[in-house]
Amino acid sequence: MNRRLSALSVVSLLLAACAGTRPAPVEDRTSAPAAAAKSAPAATAAPAARAGFHVVSKGETLYSIALEYGQDWRDLIIWNRIENPNLIRVGQELRVAPPEGTVEVRPIVAPGAVESRPLEPAPQQPAAAAVAAPEAANSTLLKREPRGGVEAYSEEALARMKGTPLAAATPLPAAAATGSTPATPVVAPESSRSEDGIEWSWPAQGRIIGRFGEGSSKGLDVSGKLGDPVLAAAGGRVVYAGEAMRGYGKLVIIKHDNTYLSAYAHNSKILVQERDTVKRGQRIAELGDTDTEAGKPRLHFEIRRQGKPVDPLKYLPPR
């Protein structure tokens, strides 16, 4: 009996000891790969692009990246030493700002309409000399008269010397004397000047059928007929002329300075070449319907400030 009680006591003591002791932690090895998998994307995520650089995403082209940052796509080729502009990789980092110490040389375009002037002044016509010669001769005769007969010069005196009526001695108009017709003045398009000093005018004369910000529009849509003139909204240099950018059709991009670009899309015909210098109001293309959803002739016009689309109505003169 005593032995039995002693055994029960020992068992009770052992059970009490086990109940008061915390169990050792169990390492769950099956959860380790899952935890590693969750932390892996954070470790391998592509770093954000550095200032002045752009990381290429799917669907982007060198031309669209240049437009986004307001640069000439040729500059991107030079800055990044690209051999083939059609071969850029997703995830590739491209420089989109000039390297330090680079000075851009750009043409200076005076604002105003396109003017037509002769290369050399028109030679003096013989008619002018014929009119001037008798007057010079007659004035000489008046001066050589005897002192008693000298009289002050007048149209009447000149007419008496010639023996012609007074009307014949009336000087000819300037246009008739030179034998030229007055030049027709060139009327410049109505314009407005931005805060940055750029003079803007409307690129087409149709009505507005699409405004900035409507849906995904980054500019204005202006209606028109096939072949209507498309004009440069401001002076600058053509940095793109082609149809390699999806959604824009035949496109012209003009760089006005280091801040502003303007884009003219869906043209039926392009009349300028890349690197051409154009003036405000110059005809650069013909309105068309290339790569438009509705298939109706229209001009899609954008103004970009430092590559970012802005509302053109804030820059164009009011209608």
pLDDT tens, position by position, for the chain (319 residues)? 555 555 555 555 555 554 554 444 444 444 444 444 444 444 445 556 688 899 999 989 998 999 889 899 899 999 999 988 888 999 999 998 998 765 554 443 444 444 444 444 545 554 444 444 444 444 444 444 444 455 555 666 666 655 544 444 444 444 334 344 443 344 456 776 766 789 999 999 999 999 999 878 999 999 999 999 999 999 999 999 999 888 999 999 999 999 999 999 999 999 999 999 999 999 999 999 998 876 789 999 999 999 999 999 999 999 8
Q: Which residues contact 122 (CB under 8 A, 6 or more apart)?
A: 178, 180
Count other Cβ atoms within 10 Å, centred on residue 241. Answer: 21
pLDDT digits (tens, 9 = 90+) for 14-52: 555 545 544 444 444 444 444 444 444 444 455 566 888
- Measured distance CA(237)–CA(287) in Å, rounded: 20
- Measured distance CA(197)–CA(111) in Å, rounded: 10
Check if the beta carbon of residue 237 is closer than 8 Å to that of residue 277: yes
